[in-house]
């Protein structure tokens, strides 16, 4: 028993020792496991720290590289801009010497606001614009003329004749026109005939008339050759003006129509001998391409013997440009008929003023010693006329007695534009821009007010707040709305300060508050037709005219006629009863009454430009005074404007760049205030900010562009691209699917950008198949922007047995694309195409719709667009979630921010 017990005890001890050993081992193993876990944790932390450090270093390196790349690109761009500006300045200086004034200026340039004759017939004339903005010129010396072919031949020749007629000295040019098809293309030259009947004879339409013209030109060349030989002159321009005579400009339209074989022989003699001898040919032959001009079966005009060949089909091409291979010359848009006629009348006015020795604005301002010491507390006084008792003009008074507004009239060519310029510059010379601000509207498509806007030298009249050029009623109403809101703001300010007048407010607060002067030329356009725009204009003008004087708001309204304006029928007396000041230049007796007042026919008895009736008592006859408006010499106005701008800067006043609106033009680029906005354009308003659609998550949706206007489509797409590139979505990749092959991406800032995937019309089908078939992966940000041009041009994308319509798979993908990190911008050429596509999966696929051709077709989608008056590039942006719609002026693609990156074709896998 003892030995058995001992054995059992030994076994128990052994088990205990084994158990203890196992426990110890397990404890040790547990400790080792814990230690291993601790070590692994430390390793994980170390790895995490290392990974974070590496990520931070990599991110910092990426940021540094991106910054260095951006700095390098900015430097390259700045250098390119400097070089371009230097070359452009040199080209412009050379162009000004060869083609001064109207011969070489852009149609909207300050030099053309009142076109001045040059000292001699120009040596060249502008036909278009070079890359960088410098004018492209063709010669008038050393050649016998031009032959112009292409679809734009007649317009180019018409513009050339207009430029020469505006720039040539008086009685230095004779324009003879052969118009065999009686189309009257150069009919506007008859407006020059009033002041120079010899220089602008009626057009010739018969073969006999052409024969006599060509015979006379041959005689002219012979006489010039003899005179030049006697004087030892190489060119008739080297002769004294008394010997040189007029330059004979012969224009042949629709050649060879009406040209006989005999006439062709005479033309060949002229082509061979006219250069430098006072005769110049302009031949318009729209069907001409190259070689001689065929006349009948046996004759021809040998162009190569002395004519410059010009192709005006699209871009301007000429053998004169052959020295620069690949040179692209963009044709300048022609002035509208109204703008052209205004230029002609302004030139006639300038010549007459110079011939009569009319007193100038420069002399008047020097005599009255105009300065900025007068703050205009009680009103404004503009001196710009010679009166029987001395100098006079217009006083806009708030009280004692009140005469806050002025009505100005005058027939065409009587000097109304000159009067308005004298008034504006006269007030600007007398009052500081702190004390007077102008809002200027030109409704007659003229260019007189263009000289007041910012120019290439970045100066402008520092008193101007807003400037509207060309007829645009919507902008006119926008300016009136702006003045009405300023009126309300001032009313609140006066109440807070306890002021009863502008002078009181200034005295009590010590703050600047300028008088606001609206000058509107041909303001009656606002009321034609009698629609909602007209009625709103009437309401605003009546409101401002009645109550504006108390708050320093003045209206100066000018017109040729106020007869028959239906919108004013019930409000004429209420409105014009607030216009104590009346000025009328020469007019009919009927229009004299509409401007001056019933029974006041005095303007019908006036003679000559510049003579006017001045009346400051609502047109009562006893208050009539007859005076002569002084002449605003354009050269002096340029000097004065620069001087006033410099004076403002020296006085501590930094002139604000005026809000300038040109009805027929795209808007100048301005970035959005919010980086999360994809901009499309600016509203028709004073100082409006860029608008478009939201890029914020939750508010962003696909975009549909509807319309066949390619220029506006490109403008909108370029603007969207520029603003997205400046937003938090800047890293998004871009794909352009040009299924119609029209080249949506060849204009604007993205035209030269690397990294954009460009899918051709042939590749579109395959690309969209692949894109649609890929697995949809949700994404929290937009990683790709896809421009799709017209789904109607894309072939079948999937098996039609799987889907009812071939494109339905793509439509389903587009509908959910935002969640997958893709923004689609799709262009539909028409409302019918959009309606057909959105009948299926895409019914709710778009949040924003941009109408590039708003009108009656879009009225159901955007109510009211069918009644809108569009006189320039306009688009309507519709937010489908809120129903809001905005009328915008799209940005000029050529003026959008450039990235300076060279364009390359790349392939980016999807």
Q: Which pair of structure tokens corresponds to residue 648? A: 């403002």
In 3-state terms, what secondary structure has residue 308? strand
Compute the distance between CA of residue 584 and CA of residue 594 in angstroms, rounded to an integer.
10
Q: Which pair of structure tokens corresponds to residue 40? A: 């692994």
Judged against a pLDDT cut of 50, whether residue 797 lies above it is answered with no
Cβ atoms of 106 and 99 within 8 Å: the answer is no
Q: Which residues pair with 678 in a beta bridge?
A: 693
Map tokens 């070089």 to a residue. Answer: 83
More confident residue, 746 or 637: 637
What is the DSSP code (8-state) at residue 863? T
The pTM score is 0.76
CA distances from 580 to 396, 504, 863 (A): 9, 24, 42
Least confident range from 432-436, 599-603, 691-695: namely 691-695
Cβ neighbours of residue 506 closer than 8 Å, sequence gap 6 or more = 375, 377, 512, 513
Map tokens 């030269």 to a residue. Answer: 752
Sheet harboring 317-318: ordered strands across? Answer: 173-178, 247-252, 279-284, 145-149, 307-311, 317-318
pLDDT at position 323 is 66
Map tokens 């003892």 to a residue. Answer: 2
Map tokens 């005999």 to a residue. Answer: 262
Compute the distance between CA of residue 562 and CA of residue 575 in angstroms, rounded to an integer.
13
**What mean pLDDT comes out for the span 170-197?**
93
Compute the distance between CA of residue 782 and CA of residue 725 in angstroms, rounded to an integer.
12
pLDDT at position 91 is 64
Q: Which pair of structure tokens corresponds to residue 89? A: 């300045």
**What mean pLDDT comes out for the span 376-383?**
94
Compute the distance between CA of residue 251 and CA of residue 281 in angstroms, rounded to an integer.
6
Cβ atoms of 468 and 475 within 8 Å: the answer is yes
Judged against a pLDDT cut of 60, whether residue 883 lies above it is answered with yes
Most confident of 345-359, 658-672, 737-751, 888-902: 658-672
Residue 18 CB-density burial (10 A; 0-12 exposed, 13-18 middle, 19+ buried): exposed
In 3-state terms, what secondary structure has residue 112? helix
Cα of 853 vs its chain's centroid, Å:
18
Cβ neighbours of residue 504 closer than 8 Å, sequence gap 6 or more = 494, 497
The rounded percent of the chain whose pLDDT value lies above 70 is 82
Positive or negative, the CA dihedral 366, 614, 573, 519 is negative
pLDDT classification of 237: cutoffs 50, 70, 90: confident
Q: Which pair of structure tokens corresponds to residue 367? A: 């005599």
Compute the distance between CA of residue 481 and CA of residue 540 in angstroms, rounded to an integer.
7
- Residue 652, annotated as binding a ligand: no
CA distances from 71 to 68, 117, 751, 903 (A): 5, 48, 21, 19
pLDDT at position 425 is 96
CB atoms within 10 A of CB 881: 10
Least confident range from 131-140, 603-612, 807-816: namely 807-816
Compute the distance between CA of residue 785 and CA of residue 744 in angstroms, rounded to an integer.
14
pLDDT at position 29 is 64
Pure H helices in 435-530: 473-497, 502-509
- Taking only the tens place, the pLDDT of each residue in 437-451 is 999 999 876 667 888
Beta pairing class for 406-409 and 581-585: parallel
Whether 384-651 and 677-890 share one fold: the answer is yes
Nearest to residue 398, comparing CAs of 426, 429, 375? 375
Pure H helices in 597-663: 634-650
- Where are the chain's structural domains? 101-319+330-355, 384-651, 677-890
Most confident of 283-297, 408-422, 612-626: 612-626
Beta pairing class for 124-129 and 330-331: antiparallel
Query: Topology of domain 101-319+330-355, per CATH?
Result: Rossmann fold (3.40.50)
Cα of 219 vs its chain's centroid, Å:
48
Phi-psi region of 413 (alpha: psi -120 to 50; beta: other; left: phi over 0): left
CB atoms within 10 A of CB 608: 13
Q: Tell me phi and psi for residue 821, to 5 degrees.
A: 85, 25
**What mean pLDDT comes out for the span 42-46?**
67
More confident residue, 353 or 653: 653
Compute the distance between CA of residue 304 and CA of residue 300 in angstroms, rounded to an integer.
12
Least confident range from 33-37, 441-445, 646-650, 691-695: namely 33-37
Residue 240 CB-density burial (10 A; 0-12 exposed, 13-18 middle, 19+ buried): exposed
Nearest to residue 851, comparing CAs of 843, 842, 859? 859
- Taking only the tens place, the pLDDT of each residue in 62-106 is 667 767 766 776 677 667 656 666 665 666 677 778 888 888 888
pLDDT at position 688 is 84
Compute the distance between CA of residue 157 and CA of residue 165 in angstroms, rounded to an integer.
12
pLDDT at position 899 is 47
- Residue 416, annotated as binding a ligand: yes
CA distances from 673 to 441, 691, 887 (A): 27, 9, 19
pLDDT at position 1 is 47
Residue 906 CB-density burial (10 A; 0-12 exposed, 13-18 middle, 19+ buried): exposed
Compute the distance between CA of residue 307 and CA of residue 682 in angstroms, rounded to an integer.
47
- Residue 415, annotated as binding a ligand: yes
pLDDT at position 835 is 84
CB atoms within 10 A of CB 598: 8
In angstroms and rounded to an integer, the radius of gyration of the C-alpha atoms of the chain is 37
Compute the distance between CA of residue 691 and CA of residue 670 in angstroms, rounded to an integer.
10
Cβ atoms of 283 and 293 within 8 Å: the answer is yes
pLDDT at position 800 is 47
Residues in the chain: 910
Mean pLDDT over all residues of the chain?
A: 84
Nearest to residue 662, comparing CAs of 480, 524, 471, 512? 471
pLDDT at position 7 is 60
Most confident of 52-56, 594-598, 663-667: 594-598
pLDDT at position 49 is 63
Judged against a pLDDT cut of 50, whether residue 903 lies above it is answered with no
Cβ neighbours of residue 738 closer than 8 Å, sequence gap 6 or more = 744, 745, 758, 759, 760, 761, 764, 789
CB atoms within 10 A of CB 243: 14
Compute the distance between CA of residue 814 and CA of residue 702 in angstroms, rounded to an integer.
8
Map tokens 């489908």 to a residue. Answer: 880
HSE-up (13 A, CA, CB side) for residue 129? 11
In 3-state terms, what secondary structure has residue 693? strand
User: b vs e for 304-327, b when ≥16 Cβ sit within 10 Å of the residue's Cβ?
Assistant: eebbbbbbbeeebbbebbeeeeee
How open is the CA angle 16-19-22, to the nearest 5 degrees? 150
Q: Which pair of structure tokens corresponds to residue 77? A: 């761009």
- Residue 413, annotated as binding a ligand: yes
How open is the CA angle 261-265-268, to the nearest 5 degrees? 135
More confident residue, 57 or 3: 57
Cβ atoms of 324 and 331 within 8 Å: the answer is no
Nearest to residue 165, comparing CAs of 238, 251, 103? 103
pLDDT classification of 293: cutoffs 50, 70, 90: very high
* CATH number among 3.40.50.300, 3.60.15.10, 3.40.930.10, 3.10.129.10, domain 384-651: 3.40.50.300
CA distances from 201 to 156, 198, 220, 373, 443 (A): 21, 6, 17, 53, 32
Q: Which residues pair with 581 in a beta bridge?
A: 406
Judged against a pLDDT cut of 90, whether residue 877 lies above it is answered with yes
- Residue 701, annotated as binding a ligand: no
- Residue 411, annotated as binding a ligand: yes
Nearest to residue 344, comparing CAs of 99, 117, 635, 608? 117
pLDDT at position 235 is 87
Compute the distance between CA of residue 363 and CA of residue 354 in angstroms, rounded to an integer.
14
Map tokens 């002609």 to a residue. Answer: 344
The rounded percent of the chain whose pLDDT value lies above 90 is 43
Least confident range from 80-89, 194-203, 616-625: namely 80-89
- Taking only the tens place, the pLDDT of each residue in 258-284 is 999 999 999 999 999 999 999 999 999
In 3-state terms, what secondary structure has residue 25? helix
Cβ neighbours of residue 323 closer than 8 Å, sequence gap 6 or more = none
**What mean pLDDT comes out for the span 295-305?**
91
Q: Which residues pair with 736 in a beta bridge?
A: 758, 787
Query: Topology of domain 677-890, per CATH?
Result: Rossmann fold (3.40.50)
């Amino acid at each position: 028993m003892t030995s058995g017990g001992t054995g059992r005890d030994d076994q128990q001890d052994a088990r205990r020792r084994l158990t203890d050993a196992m426990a110890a081992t397990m404890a040790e193993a547990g400790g080792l496991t814990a230690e291993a876990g601790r070590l692994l944790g430390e390793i994980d932390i170390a790895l995490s720290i290392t990974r974070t450090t590496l990520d931070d270093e990599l991110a910092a390196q990426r940021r540094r590289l991106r910054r260095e790349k951006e700095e390098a690109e900015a430097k390259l761009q700045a250098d390119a801009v400097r070089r371009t500006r230097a070359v452009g300045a040199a080209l412009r200086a050379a162009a000004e010497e060869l083609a001064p004034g109207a011969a070489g200026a852009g149609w909207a340039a300050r030099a053309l606001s009142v076109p001045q004759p040059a000292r001699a017939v120009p040596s060249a004339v502008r036909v278009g614009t070079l890359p960088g903005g410098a004018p492209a010129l063709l010669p008038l010396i050393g050649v016998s003329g031009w032959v112009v072919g292409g679809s734009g031949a007649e317009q180019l020749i018409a513009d050339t004749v207009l430029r020469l007629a505006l720039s040539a000295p008086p009685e230095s040019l004779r324009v003879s026109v052969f118009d065999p098809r009686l189309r009257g293309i150069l009919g506007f030259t008859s407006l020059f005939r009033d002041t120079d009947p010899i220089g602008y004879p009626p057009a010739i339409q018969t073969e006999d008339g052409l024969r006599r013209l060509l015979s006379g030109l041959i005689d002219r060349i012979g006489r010039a050759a003899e005179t030049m030989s006697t004087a030892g002159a190489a060119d008739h321009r080297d002769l004294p003006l008394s010997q040189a005579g007029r330059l004979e400009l012969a224009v042949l339209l629709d050649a060879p129509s009406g040209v006989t074989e005999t006439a062709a022989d005479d033309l060949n003699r002229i082509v061979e001998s006219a250069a430098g001898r006072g005769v110049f040919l302009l031949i318009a032959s729209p069907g001409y391409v190259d070689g001689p001009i065929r006349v009948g079966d046996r004759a021809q005009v040998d162009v190569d013997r002395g004519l410059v060949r010009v192709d005006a089909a699209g871009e301007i091409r000429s053998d004169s440009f052959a020295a620069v291979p690949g040179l692209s010359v963009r044709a300048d848009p022609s002035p509208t008929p109204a703008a052209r006629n205004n230029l002609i009348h302004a030139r006639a006015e300038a010549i007459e003023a110079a011939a009569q020795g009319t007193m100038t604005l420069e002399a008047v301002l020097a005599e009255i010693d105009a300065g900025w010491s007068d703050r205009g507390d009680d009103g404004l006084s503009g001196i710009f006329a010679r009166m029987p008792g001395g100098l006079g003009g217009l006083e806009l008074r708030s009280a004692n007695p009140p005469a806050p507004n002025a009505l100005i009239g005058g027939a065409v060519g009587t000097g109304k534009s000159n009067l308005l310029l004298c008034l504006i510059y006269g007030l600007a010379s007398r009052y500081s821009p702190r004390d007077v601000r102008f809002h200027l509207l030109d409704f007659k498509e003229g260019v007189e007010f263009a000289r007041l806007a910012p120019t290439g030298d970045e100066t402008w009249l520092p008193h101007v707040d807003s400037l509207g050029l060309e007829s645009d009623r919507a902008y006119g109403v926008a300016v009136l709305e702006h003045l009405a809101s300023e009126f309300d703001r001032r009313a609140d300010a006066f109440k807070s300060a306890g002021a009863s007048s502008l002078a009181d407010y200034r005295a009590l607060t010590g703050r600047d508050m300028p008088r606001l002067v609206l000058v509107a030329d041909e303001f009656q356009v606002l009321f034609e037709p009698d629609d909602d725009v007209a009625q709103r204009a009437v309401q605003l003008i009546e409101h401002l005219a009645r109550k504006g004087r108390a708050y320093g708001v003045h209206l100066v309204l000018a017109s040729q006629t106020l007869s028959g304006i239906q919108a004013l029928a019930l409000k004429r007396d209420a409105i014009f009863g607030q216009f104590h000041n009346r000025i009328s230049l020469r007019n009919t007796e009927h229009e004299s009454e509409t401007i001056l007042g019933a029974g006041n026919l005095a303007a019908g008895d006036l003679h000559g430009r510049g003579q006017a009736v001045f009346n400051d008592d609502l047109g009562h006859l006893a208050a009539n005074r007859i005076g002569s408006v002084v002449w605003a010499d354009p050269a002096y106005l340029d000097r004065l404007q620069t001087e006033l701008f410099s004076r403002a800067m020296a006085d501590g006043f930094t002139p604000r760049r005026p809000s300038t609106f040109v009805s027929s033009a795209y808007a100048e680029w301005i970035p959005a205030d919010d980086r999360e906005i994809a901009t499309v354009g600016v509203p028709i308003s004073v100082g409006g900010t860029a608008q478009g659609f939201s890029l914020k998550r939750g508010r962003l949706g696909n975009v549909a562009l509807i319309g066949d206007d390619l220029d506006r489509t490109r403008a909108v797409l370029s603007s969207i691209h520029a603003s997205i590139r400046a937003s938090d979505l800047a890293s998004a990749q871009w794909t352009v699917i040009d299924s119609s092959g029209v080249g949506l991406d060849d204009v604007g800032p993205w035209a030269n950008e690397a990294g954009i995937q460009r899918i051709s019309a042939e590749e579109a089908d395959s690309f969209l198949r692949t894109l649609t078939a890929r697995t949809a992966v949700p994404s929290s940000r937009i990683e790709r922007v896809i421009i799709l041009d017209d789904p109607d041009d894309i072939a079948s994308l999937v098996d039609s047995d799987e889907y009812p319509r071939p494109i339905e798979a793509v439509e389903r993908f587009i509908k959910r694309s935002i969640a997958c990190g893709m923004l689609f911008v799709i262009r539909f050429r028409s409302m019918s195409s959009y309606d057909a596509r959105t009948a299926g999966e895409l019914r709710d696929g778009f949040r924003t719709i941009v109408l590039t051709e708003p009108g009656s077709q879009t009225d159901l989608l955007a109510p009211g667009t069918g009644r809108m008056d569009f006189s320039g590039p306009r688009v309507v942006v519709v937010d489908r979630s809120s129903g809001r719609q905005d009328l915008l002026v799209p940005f000029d693609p050529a003026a959008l921010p450039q990235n300076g990156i060279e364009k390359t074709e790349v392939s980016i896998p999807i």
